Structure 1
């Protein structure tokens, strides 16, 4: 399955919802980053939490890891109040995402398994 990235901003509860699915190519990764940047330009990021649904996300190949790191770096720099990742039971993906969060120093990241 190709990578897809859907955004829904809940302005009332100040939550930036994103759903990521499948396996991302570098091109899809870049397209999702552009969609993300366009959307966050319309909100006061530090007042928001970002909730990312990764239940349909596949483990990233080593070549896609830099994109993942770049995204986590963005969430950190943009200053979200909290970053919440929701996964299906997937120890490998959980480990991978946890490691990426630590690598970029994203301390306000919470990983929840459904």
Structure 2
């Protein structure tokens, strides 16, 4: 059973694409997320936008989720955003997991921020 949820919004004024991700995603959730993501990115010039991901309700990354998240990180990289910011609650483990995923996928303009 899936408890993964997400929302996306393009904020033209602030030149940000805002994503909220939470819970634990199934492969079907990830497929749906990727389709919505690609549709939203196609409507903007990503080079002049920042991607802000609200991960404050995201669960720790399970080993099964690593390949799916890596594919999402690669999408973020390919989209060419000027900056990618992951916002999380105070969690050393999640911060390490998300930072490692960014490193492993070559997403060099990523930043994990505890809020």
TM-score by length of structure 1 reads 0.97
Q: Name the residue aligned to 1:84.
A: 85
In the alignment, structure 1 residue 72 sits paired with structure 2 residue 76: no
Q: Name the residue aligned to 1:10.
A: 11
Give the whole-Å Cα distance in 1 for the aligned partners of 2:26 and 2:63: 12
Q: Which 4+ runs in 1 deviate beyond 2 A? A: none
Q: Which secondary structure does the structure 2 equivalent of 1:85 belong to? A: strand
Return the alpha-carbon distance in structure 2 between the equivalents of residues 57 and 69 of structure 1: 16
Give the match for residue 54 of structure 2. 53
What's 1:36 paired with?
A: 37
RMSD: 0.9
Unpaired runs of 5+ residues, structure 2, are none
Alpha-carbon distance between aligned partners in 1 of 2:105 and 2:91, rounded to the nearest angstrom: 22
Aligned length: 114
CA distance in 1, matches of 2:85, 2:4: 20
CA distance in 2, matches of 1:22, 1:81: 27
The one-character-per-residue Cα deviations of 1:12-53 (angstroms, maximum 9, x if unpaired) are 111000000100011101111111011111111111000000
Structure 1 residue matching 2:19: 3-state secondary structure: strand
User: Secondary structure of 1:69's partner?
Assistant: helix
TM norm structure 2: 0.96
